[in-house]
Amino acid sequence: MLMTEKKPPTRIGTILVWLILIIGMLWLAIPKQASSQTLMEAGHVASHESADPFKLYPNGIEYDVYRKGKKIGQHKVIFKREDGQLIVDTEFKIKVKIFFVTVYRFIFDVAGTWQDGKLVSMTGEVNDNGKKIKIDAYVDYDGKFYTTGKKGAFVADTWVYPTNHWNIGAVDQSVVLNTLTGNLVKVEVVRHGIETVETVAGPVEAEKFEYTGDLRDINVWYDSEGRWVKMVFTTKAGETIELVCRQCGLVNDLEQASASGA
């Protein structure tokens, strides 16, 4: 019987084994990005009643958008009923010019579907000066709320209020759908009391709410009936943008601003 002598491992082989072990340990230590991000317990607080848009805004919503005192765009919301569901079409367009040259454009165009006072889906597109984001959010058969936005996929345990602001119920929530990015975000909304707000229909007493948390520098005002009457926010560049109510259900908005003469 022939016997063969077993050779001891070479120095190079030992080094390779140790390198493989070290690389494996480093790989395991690196945090992996989840395929979806989950925000649980988005259950709703209801200190404000959910808005009836046909009662509050019989002619829809229209705002003029101002930057440094100059009008740069419009924000419009149209409400309609289809097959027992509420369809909310929202359009927000701004254009900034310098010396007659357009240097910035922003277009926000989304449609939300509501049923029994709950958001069941929202789709659309945001075009931020050429950079496009698709908005796709919905309640699935399991009752969970799914959305895909700028930062990937998100899941909530139930439907979520969007931040298009016509519905005052959003100010009571801790998790909302950022309609500009499609992301779910955690917020805390601070109440600042009653202020006088100027609108095309004249001054209105309204309560100020400030978004903090993942959404910042956003202030919205609602009158005593829960009607959205004003908004001011600060851009990432530090500029203040103001939305002034032209048509938001205030006594027929001074008879349609004196037959559009305003």
What single-letter amino acid sits at 99?
Answer: F
Question: Is 244 a domain residue?
Answer: yes
Residues 158/143, Cβ–Cβ less than 8 Å = yes
Between 250 and 32, the more confident residue is: 250
Q: What range defines the domain where residue 214 resides?
A: 61-260
Percent of the chain with pLDDT over 70: 76
Number of folded domains in the chain? 1
Q: pTM for this structure?
A: 0.76
- Residue 22: exposed, middle, or buried by beta-carbon count in 10 A (0-12, 13-18, 19+)? exposed
User: In this structure, is residue 218 part of a structural domain?
Assistant: yes
What pLDDT was estimated at residue 186?
Answer: 92
Predicted local confidence at residue 12, as pLDDT: 58
CA distance 80 to 54: 9
Over the stretch 133-171, which tens digit does the pLDDT of each residue have?
899 999 998 889 999 877 778 899 999 999 989 999 999
Question: 12 versus 154: which is more confidently predicted?
Answer: 154
pLDDT single digits (tens) 208-232: 999 998 888 899 999 988 999 999 9
Determine, yes or no, domain membership for 194: yes
Look at residue 251 and tell me whether its pLDDT is greater than 80: no
Does residue 16 lie in a domain region?
no
Structural domain includes residue 54: no
